[in-house]
Chain A
Amino acid sequence: MKMNNANSFILKRILIISLAFCITQFFSNISYTVEPDEILQNQEYELRARNISRNIRCMICQNQSIDESNASLAKDLRILIRNKIKEGSNDKEIYKFLTDRYGDFILLKPPFNLNTLGLWFLPFIFLILGIYIVFYHNKKSG
């Protein structure tokens, strides 16, 4: 049975609507990274928001930041950060707000405290050791 053009157009639209419906039902709890509606008008604020978001871990993803993630919690946090920026909080206060609730785990750049001394200092020590070896070698060859 051949369909005429009008019918096939309607059928096509129905198929698209239903497919979009099915997919968005799943995606109703998932958003696609930074959404256009989230973007702040003030460019400086928006840049701050993006920079902070890139440093905040998406808690339910594998090694992604909330800036990149699809997850609904990521979106909530992105909006929360933008609201706090608009309210006048500085970056430090925003980070504190998040770590008070989620711990240091939520920071992709590890904090600098007693526990992480080794993490931040050892690369320097490696570098110094390397330079020492270079000079030691130079002395011996000269």
Chain B
Amino acid sequence: MKKKLLILPSIFFFIILSIFFYLLIIERNPSELPSNLLNKNVPIFETESLFKNEKFISSQEFKNEIILVNFFATWCKPCRDEHVYIKRFSNKKGIKVIGINYKDNSKKTIKWLKNLGNPYSDVLIDKNGRVAIDWGVYGIPETFIVNSKGIIKYRHVGPITNEIYKKINLIINENE
């Protein structure tokens, strides 16, 4: 046995521990998944709109301006919690806010929006969750930022907090 080989276990050990250390100190959420759609085109889909008569066709709508897409439902408590931030975004100039109502009852949604205020310029109906699957959604609420060229630039899973609100603002500003 060459003596040099004997130091190998300690070398492997330190390499692995450094990787663990690195992972600990960077900011990461072990249960959050990075979106596979980042920097890719918006998914192509068509769906009914809650308030408008015409159908929503994605290829026509996602090419003109920055759009914030928010998946929500009335039965989802964190969606209620983040609603105030969605309203703030709706007041922001230069961006459009679209809501996608996930697996919900349309009457309940209309009532919910009436009570809390409707920040969405359009509310789309995703009754069976297929649109959400196309966006890679796995837990609502989820919020996406799409730039004016129809490319998805950001995705957040879970309710928007103050920090995420600031982060999204930065991203919107970068993409103007």
Residue among B36, B75, B130, B136 making CB contact with A29, cutoff 8 Å: B75
When the two chains form the complex, which single residue of B128, B133, B139 contacts A77, counting CB atoms closer than 8 Å? B133
CB contact list, B69-108 vs A, under 8 A = 75, 103
Report yes or no: B133 in contact with A101, Cβ–Cβ below 8 A: yes
Task: Decide if A105 touches B33 in the complex (CB within 8 Å).
Answer: yes
Which residue in A29, A101, A103, A105 is a CB contact (below 8 Å) of B134?
Answer: A101
| B103 near A72: Cβ-Cβ < 8 Å | yes
Bound-state CA distance A60–B134 (Å) is 17
Q: At the interface, yes or no: A102 with Cβ under 8 Å from chain B?
A: yes
Q: Which residues of B contact A101 (CB under 8 A)?
A: 36-37, 43, 133-136
Query: Is B129 at the interface (CB under 8 A from chain A)?
Result: yes
Residues of A within 8 A of B75 (CB): 29
* Chain A at the B interface: SS class: helix
A102 lies within 8 A of B103 (CB): no
Contacts of A72 in B (CB 8 A): 103, 129
**Residue interface mask A98-115, B partner, CB < 8 A = 1:** 011111010000000000
* A38 touches B (CB below 8 Å): no
Which residues of B are found within 8 Å of A102, using beta-carbon distances? 33, 36, 136, 138
Say which residue of A60, A76, A80, A103 sits within 8 Å of B136 (CB atoms): A103
Q: How far is the CB of A10 from chain B (nearest CB, A)?
A: 31
Shortest Cβ distance from residue B118 to the other chain A in the assembled complex, whole angstroms? 24
Q: Are A73 and B129 in contact (CB under 8 A)?
A: yes
Q: Please tell me which one of the listed residues A29, A60, A76 contacts residue B133 in the complex, with CB atoms under 8 A apart.
A: A76
**B117 is an interface residue with CB less than 8 A from chain A:** no
Interface pair B139/A76, CB less than 8 Å apart: no
For the complex formed, measure the closest distance between the CB of B140 and the CB atoms of chain A, giving whole angstroms.
Answer: 10
| A59 and B138 contacting across the interface, CB-CB below 8 Å | yes
- Separation of A99 and B37 alpha carbons in the complex (Å): 10
Residue picked from B128, B133, B139, most chain A C-beta under 10 Å: B133
A99–B103 touching, CB < 8 Å: no
B residues near A (Cβ < 8 Å) are 33-37, 43, 75, 103, 128-130, 133-136, 138-139
Given contacts A59-B138, A101-B43, 10 further A-B contacts (CB under 8 A): A59-B33, A72-B103, A72-B129, A101-B36, A101-B37, A101-B134, A101-B135, A103-B33, A103-B36, A103-B136
